[in-house]
Amino acid sequence: MKLSIVNYGAGNIKSIQFAFQRLGHKAVLTDKPEEIINSDKVLFPGVGEASSAMLKLKQSGLDVLIPTLKQPVLGICLGMQLMCKHSEEGDTAGLGIFDVNVKRFSNKVKVPQMGWNTISNLKSELFKDIKEKEYMYLVHSYYAEACAESIAITDYELPYASALENDNFFGVQFHPEKSSKAGEQLLKNFLKL
């Protein structure tokens, strides 16, 4: 299986590579369009700030490529947020793959949300053999609103979409690569899509 990680210089991807390595798969870091197009599965990670990450995507033309991909694509953390319509972070226009906006948590809660929280209302093959209210590891200050494309809901200040799905596109706010056995199961499920 050819597995690629979209390389646009946004954050630490080592953990994602290692997580797939533990599952016996090699994930290749690449920014080459043909390599990404010809992969069986594509991972779109990201940590850091939305507007600067979006700028990097644009500079490499990956912002045009990603929405046209036909194979299963998994956005993780900021990757998922960039796949949405718009983010309040840096007033950033996203890729518009998911029809939802990204907003900032208010100061009624500690920001960032950092740690393990539950996912529920699970509605996707991505969550096969993962139980309702399973714990996943999250670190984020912005969230996607609950919407028609939500396939998991997490509650922090308010119920929000901690995972999204639209056709072949999937996004998770949490870090499956850091979420112990449940996270591993999710990555296995993604490989089987």
Contacts of 193 (CB under 8 A, 6+ apart): 41, 72, 125, 126, 170
* Cβ at position 167, least distance to another protein in Å: 29
Q: Which is nearer to another protein, 69 or 139 (CB)?
A: 139
Per the CB < 8 A criterion, the answer to whether 186 and 130 are in contact is yes
| Residue from the set 1, 18, 64, 131 that interacts with another protein by CB under 8 A | 18
Catalytic-labelled residue, pool 34, 77, 86, 149? 77
> Which residue among 25, 29, 35, 48 contacts another protein (CB under 8 A)?
48
Using CB under 8 A as the binding rule, whether residue 190 contacts another protein is answered as no
Catalogue the E-assigned strands of 56-190: 73-76, 86-87, 92-93, 101-104, 113-119, 134-140, 142-145, 150-156, 158-166, 169-172
CB under 8 Å, gap of 24 or more: what pairs does 128-131 form?
128/185, 128/189, 128/192, 129/185, 129/189, 130/182, 130/185, 130/186, 130/189
Active site residue 89: no
Q: Closest Cα partner for 83 from 106, 62, 59, 105?
A: 62
Residue 175: active-site member: yes
Nearer to another protein, 93 or 111 (CB): 111
Q: Which residues contact 167 (CB under 8 A, 6 or more apart)?
A: none
The neighbouring-strand residues paired with 164 are 150, 171
Residue with Cβ nearer another protein (47 or 65):
47
CB of 120 to another protein, least distance (A): 9
> What is the residue whose two structure tokens read 């299986």?
1
Interacting positions 51-90 with another protein (CB under 8 A): none
Binding residues for another protein restricted to 127-186, rule: CB under 8 A: 135, 137, 139-141, 154-157, 175, 177-181, 183-184
Residues 93-132 vs another protein: string with x where CB under 8 A?
--------------xxxxxxxxxxxx--------------
- What residues make contact with another protein under the rule CB under 8 A? 11-12, 14-15, 18-19, 21-22, 47-49, 107-118, 135, 137, 139-141, 154-157, 175, 177-181, 183-184
Kindly list the catalytic residues: 77, 175, 177
